[in-house]
Structure 1
Amino acid sequence: MSEMDDSINLSTSMCDVEASLLNHNVSFSNSMATSTGELSMPKLSVSLSEAEILKLRSRHPLDEAAPLNTSVFMETSLETVVSQEDEEVQTVGVINIEDTLELTSNDNKVVTGLADSAPLQYFQGRLVELGRRCWTSSAEAQHYTKGCYWSPDGTCLLIPVHIDGMHVIELPTDLYSTSTVQRTRSLTKLQSAVHVPEGGTVYDCVWFPHMNSQQPDTCFWLATRQHEPIHMWDAFDGKLRCSYSGYDAVDEVMAAISLAFSHDGQKIYAGFKRCIKIFDTSRPGRLCDDYPVKFAISCIAQTSTHPNTLTCGNWQGYIQHFDLRCSPKQGPLFTLGGHKGGITQLRYGGNGFGDWHLFSGARKCGKLLQWDMRNYKKPLVEFQRHVDTNQRIHFDFTSDCRWLTSGDTRGALNIWDLREYGEASVLQLHSDCCNGVGINPVLPVLATTSGQYHFIDQCAHKENRTLSISESIVEEAPPDANQQLEVVYENAVVIWWCGQSESK
């Protein structure tokens, strides 16, 4: 028995032995990690001696400080040469386990970043403007941005524009391999690589969490808009791939209010007025699971620690945490208050906060709250920002979870250092509402969007006079019945460099 305990028993049933002789691919899952942090070897049809085990352990030491990333599917091949005539000379070729962490299920290497792996430095100097794109607007059709969303691989930026659909802007190519930029760098003319000219109001949009530009099949995003089902759009050509439809009690299409992917990308969570619909990403159409709720779901967040739970915000100003394994009749596990307006955004802080710290923002509420979901009686920290309208004002984190950024309705960018929890650093970047903030996941690049709906003086509109943001008369226009009133205010997306910069 001692020899059996000291060596790894890799015997299996005869069916497993025959299968292993035909296919030597081994799938490593998170169930192989024991409670002590060691990696238990899978069952194979070979046996190793104690000396060989010690040799393999010396070649592949386990790093206890770096936990196994279970979000990456790991697959490697074990090449064995078994000779019954000469068992003493048999050799076992084992691929380094650390190398398999960078492989996907189809043995393609995952690109983890555009620049080198050096730690990124954020907000250590002045911001450098890299490029700007503006949209014209009129009194009849006001075009204003509604936030910005970086793709998970950091190569492109998604921007919904009111009554102008959605635009995808690519990252300037000179930033792909640089660690610093010149403060006198010439501005890049930002143009739409993809334009989806959908009319109406875009309620929410979200990127596929494993999007990789080197794998075109993964390059897509979901969007929901007024009176339409959920659409999946291709990020290369802007074509419609498929749709996910939610229907009400009278079999009419309902528009989802909020969207979220599961961390593995296999499920889509869609928030509706009275339910949460769960779609299978690989099965478009109307087939889904319904989870009834009492209020309209305005935003959704999920922690990777417990994938069977959802944290949802509603327009009544409450944050509710649901366990999808429980009956809907039991209601939420708990409900959080603290905001005086409807919840507009929820985000978990990630590994930098133990994946249990939730950040929440609301409309017409100047508080941005940080919660510890393990002790949710009251928020840990309150961050102050100016939010005076019902518009969704976005916030975002840096990849190291040190800096928290948010826009406000006065056009300023608020930056908090989460290591010190002091007062915000306020930068006046826009002359109109700064509604969107997005930090590139792999580069020290910041994107901000500005604009909002403006109520136009109808008397001035009838007289065909041009108005500025302060609604003061700028100039008289010649009387022309077909001429539209031009609205002059800032409505743009701007990309900034927030890392190290050089003066020359």
Structure 2
Amino acid sequence: MDASVDLSTSMCDGDESMLNHNVNFSSTMITSAGDITVPKLSVTLSEAEILKLRLPQPAGDAAALDASVPMETSLEARSSQEYGEEESGRVIDIDDTVERTSADVQDVPGSQAPEGAPLEFFHGKLVELGRRCWTSSTEVQHYTKGCYWSPDGTCLLVPIHLDGMHVMELPTDLYSTPTVQQSRHLTKLQSAVHVPEGGTVYDCVWFPHMNSQQPDSCFWLATRQHEPIHMWDAFDGSLRCSYSGYDAVDEVMAAISLAFSHDGQKVYAGYKRCIKIFDTSRPGRLCDDYPVKFAISCIAQNSEHSHTLTCGNWHGYVQHFDLRCSPKEGPLFTLGGHKGGITQLRYAGNGCHLFSGARKCGKILQWDMRNYKMPLVEFQRHVDTNQRIQFDITTDCRWLTSGDTRGVLNVWDLTGAGEASVLPLHSDCCNGVGLNPVLPVLATSSGQYHFTDQNAETDNVTLNGSATVVEAVPPETSPHQLEMVYENAVVLLWCGKVQPSEH
């Protein structure tokens, strides 16, 4: 494909390790009251450093931290305009199910956001930064299963079917410039870490406070078929520990979905009939069980309500649980609207808005959790597979992006009511979309499982865009001849400001 795609006019047209050299981003372990919450990890600190962490913060620093509140977005404006000031008698107020904290009381409406220029997305052309491809065949199909940026934006985690998990690093030159040129040379993406696990990876998640300058915080969790939950080191790919869930006959169960609590101290794992809650600092089989009726396919948590979980299941429903309530009471509420199993949930803004997507369902639903009788907006996309098709939202809550089984990227401007802008990026299913949390960089991944005719004597196979014929047989002798497109690739795109090319 071309090195750049014009987004401003018509969107239908088609080294050195960074783990020790990234910039130091502000820590998310500091509460609005000035207290420091350190996850219970095996971080090696001196006695003087531990004493310094326990000392109270200066009054000036605490006041500065209290001034940061969730940024008002167009999502709240839209919902308040639609629903007005009326309250429904059938709506459960989530605020009544959680405890008020000092951080909630000290939030002052109208406070200024933390200093720093906001990121700008999709204001010009998309410039391709780099690409990585995996070969595939009818016998061994290697295809991507999404892409996941680390919280500090330095690493991209990509699970590959039958080839484990790969960690690729952001190109180093992107940290030294706010813009890129249209004619920028392509970076050869290579795996800094490769975990060669076999089988199918069900889900994976980064530690929420991952910082590359703190090696002890650099890890992710992954669950795969017939295996417990594994914690993998992001520096050398070593196995740190495991969290094991067992069934009634004391056999290991594989978790279907994973999520960290926002403070990083707990691991939520979704199983067929329960949610298991592990302590991050206590690997093994010891955990708390929260029974549910359906298999938990995905998990999301609102940052404002640490005692609740929002879970999707394969029956097409989204359920909200209060973990302090008895499991016999069931969920606080249940949301419908999808015709297939829920594959992804994502909170946006200040946590009042939830986005949900499902398999074989051509829409992403936006919910206002304060009045959830019906979804606010339906965003249409093309999904005709059981595979998870990711979507993502920019940090300013203005842009929604999603993959598509046709290989295109859908982009919606949440400040307006226009149709999606469609960018043809891949020749196969675009299953993964990830927006870098600190830079205007977009990652997409492509590939899917192809059902082939086992009785056919030959298949025409297209590997990453180049057509080849495997065991060619004259067409007249092969009536079941198939043509399969195998594009299993990861692409990095710059979606910020672009400089014109130098002549």
Fold shared, TM-score > 0.5 on shorter chain:
yes
Selected match of 2:371 from 352, 372, 375:
375
**2:414 is equivalent to residue 415 of structure 1:** no
Aligned to 1:40: none
Higher relative contact order, structure no. (Cα contacts within 8 Å, ≥ 6 residues apart): 2
Q: For structure 1, which segment, 215-224 or 423-432, has the greater mean C-alpha deviation from structure 2 after superposition?
A: 423-432
Aligned to 2:110: none
Q: 1: distance between equivalents of 2:340 and 2:332?
A: 22
In the TM superposition, what is the alpha-carbon distance from 1:177 to its structure 2 partner? 1.7
Instruction: Please say if residues 137 and 486 of structure 1, whose CA atoms lie closer than 8 Å, have aligned partners that are also in contact.
Output: no
Secondary structure, in 3 states, of the residue corresponding to 1:361?
A: strand
Selected match of 2:353 from 357, 368, 380:
357
1:65-88, Cα deviation, whole Å (9 max, x unpaired): 93369xxxxxxxxxxxxxxxxxxx
Q: 1: distance between equivalents of 2:132 and 2:31?
A: 45
In the TM superposition, what is the alpha-carbon distance from 1:487 to its structure 2 partner? 6.2
Instruction: Please say if residues 258 and 272 of structure 1, whose CA atoms lie closer than 8 Å, have aligned partners that are also in contact.
Output: yes
Question: Which runs of structure 2 are paired with 1:268-307 in the superposition (5 Å)?
Answer: 268-307=267-306
In the TM superposition, what is the alpha-carbon distance from 1:407 to its structure 2 partner? 0.6
In the TM superposition, what is the alpha-carbon distance from 1:138 to its structure 2 partner? 1.5
In the TM superposition, what is the alpha-carbon distance from 1:490 to its structure 2 partner? 1.1
Aligned to 2:431: 435
Question: Which runs of structure 2 are paired with 1:249-398 in the superposition (5 Å)?
Answer: 249-349=248-348, 352=349, 354-398=350-394
Secondary structure, in 3 states, of the residue corresponding to 1:174?
A: helix
In the TM superposition, what is the alpha-carbon distance from 1:488 to its structure 2 partner? 4.8
Q: For structure 1, which segment, 308-317 or 449-458, has the greater mean C-alpha deviation from structure 2 after superposition?
A: 449-458
**One-letter amino acid of the structure 2 residue matched with residue 503 of structure 1:** P
Q: 1: distance between equivalents of 2:293 and 2:360?
A: 23
In the TM superposition, what is the alpha-carbon distance from 1:308 to its structure 2 partner? 0.1
Q: 2: distance between equivalents of 1:161 and 1:32?
A: 42
Q: 2: distance between equivalents of 1:260 and 1:328?
A: 20
Aligned to 1:226: 225
Aligned to 1:239: 238
**2:68 is equivalent to residue 67 of structure 1:** yes
Q: 2: distance between equivalents of 1:282 and 1:63?
A: 31
Q: 2: distance between equivalents of 1:271 and 1:60?
A: 39
Change (3 A) 1:174 1:322: same
In the TM superposition, what is the alpha-carbon distance from 1:475 to its structure 2 partner? 3.5
Instruction: Please say if residues 135 and 463 of structure 2, whose CA atoms lie closer than 8 Å, have aligned partners that are also in contact.
Output: no
Question: Which runs of structure 2 are paired with 1:143-162 in the superposition (5 Å)?
Answer: 143-162=142-161
In the TM superposition, what is the alpha-carbon distance from 1:28 to its structure 2 partner? 8.7
Q: 2: distance between equivalents of 1:429 and 1:486?
A: 20
In the TM superposition, what is the alpha-carbon distance from 1:399 to its structure 2 partner? 1.3
Q: 1: distance between equivalents of 2:211 and 2:467?
A: 49
Q: 2: distance between equivalents of 1:152 and 1:29?
A: 18
**2:402 is equivalent to residue 406 of structure 1:** yes
**One-letter amino acid of the structure 1 residue matched with residue 376 of structure 2:** L
Secondary structure, in 3 states, of the residue corresponding to 1:492?
A: strand
1:398-450, Cα deviation, whole Å (9 max, x unpaired): 11111110011001101011111321111011111000000000000000000
**One-letter amino acid of the structure 1 residue matched with residue 68 of structure 2:** P
Aligned to 2:162: 163
Q: 2: distance between equivalents of 1:376 and 1:129?
A: 39
Selected match of 1:450 from 434, 446, 449:
446
In the TM superposition, what is the alpha-carbon distance from 1:469 to its structure 2 partner? 8.2
**One-letter amino acid of the structure 1 residue matched with residue 434 of structure 2:** G
Change (3 A) 1:396 1:32: closer
Q: 1: distance between equivalents of 2:432 and 2:200?
A: 16
Q: 2: distance between equivalents of 1:61 and 1:238?
A: 38
Number of residue equivalences:
400
- Larger-Rg structure: 1
In the TM superposition, what is the alpha-carbon distance from 1:126 to its structure 2 partner? 1.0
Instruction: Please say if residues 322 and 332 of structure 1, whose CA atoms lie closer than 8 Å, have aligned partners that are also in contact.
Output: yes
In the TM superposition, what is the alpha-carbon distance from 1:118 to its structure 2 partner? 2.0
Q: 2: distance between equivalents of 1:237 and 1:394?
A: 27
**One-letter amino acid of the structure 2 residue matched with residue 499 of structure 1:** G
Secondary structure, in 3 states, of the residue corresponding to 1:217?
A: helix
Change (3 A) 1:398 1:31: closer
Change (3 A) 1:486 1:388: closer
Instruction: Please say if residues 163 and 200 of structure 1, whose CA atoms lie closer than 8 Å, have aligned partners that are also in contact.
Output: yes
Aligned to 2:95: none
**One-letter amino acid of the structure 1 residue matched with residue 204 of structure 2:** C
**Structure 1 unaligned blocks of 5 or more:** 1-26, 34-55, 70-112, 480-484
Q: 2: distance between equivalents of 1:490 and 1:422?
A: 31
1:73-114, Cα deviation, whole Å (9 max, x unpaired): xxxxxxxxxxxxxxxxxxxxxxxxxxxxxxxxxxxxxxxx9x
Q: 1: distance between equivalents of 2:311 and 2:30?
A: 33
In the TM superposition, what is the alpha-carbon distance from 1:119 to its structure 2 partner? 1.9
**One-letter amino acid of the structure 1 residue matched with residue 232 of structure 2:** W
**2:471 is equivalent to residue 477 of structure 1:** yes
Instruction: Please say if residues 194 and 236 of structure 1, whose CA atoms lie closer than 8 Å, have aligned partners that are also in contact.
Output: yes
Q: 1: distance between equivalents of 2:368 and 2:425?
A: 32
Cα root mean square deviation, aligned: 2.7
Change (3 A) 1:368 1:395: same
Change (3 A) 1:474 1:141: closer
Q: When the two structures are superposed, what TM-score results if normalisation uses the length of structure 2?
A: 0.75
Q: When the two structures are superposed, what TM-score results if normalisation uses the length of structure 1?
A: 0.75
Instruction: Please say if residues 442 and 493 of structure 2, whose CA atoms lie closer than 8 Å, have aligned partners that are also in contact.
Output: yes
In the TM superposition, what is the alpha-carbon distance from 1:476 to its structure 2 partner? 6.2
Instruction: Please say if residues 427 and 485 of structure 2, whose CA atoms lie closer than 8 Å, have aligned partners that are also in contact.
Output: no
Q: 2: distance between equivalents of 1:405 and 1:503?
A: 25
In the TM superposition, what is the alpha-carbon distance from 1:322 to its structure 2 partner? 0.2
Q: 2: distance between equivalents of 1:31 and 1:241?
A: 33
Q: 2: distance between equivalents of 1:453 and 1:364?
A: 15
1:200-254, Cα deviation, whole Å (9 max, x unpaired): 0000000000000000000000000000000000000000000000000000000
**Structure 2 unaligned blocks of 5 or more:** 1-28, 36-57, 71-113, 474-481
